[in-house]
Amino acid sequence: MQVKYLTQGSDDGGLYLSPSFFSTVLLLSVNL
């Protein structure tokens, strides 16, 4: 679900500054 948010955020652009985006980045880092 978090990864999906990232894709939607890219289109929106507003999520980039949102805390949700930061959480997604952390999640992606863990996946890597």
Question: Each residue of 3-26: pLDDT tens digit?
Answer: 555 555 455 554 445 667 778 887
Distance of CA 22 to the CA centre of its chain: 6
pTM for the predicted model, two decimal places:
0.36
Q: Please give the pLDDT value at position 1.
A: 43
Each domain of the chain, given as residue ranges in start order, spans 2-31
Q: Would you state the torsion angle of the CA atoms of residues 28, 19, 6, 13, taken in this order, to the nearest 10 degrees?
A: -140
pLDDT above 80 (res 30): yes
CB-CB contact of 19 with 9 (8 Å)? no
d(CA 6, CA 3): 5
CA–CA dist 31, 5 (Å, integer):
16
Q: Which amino acid is at 2?
A: Q
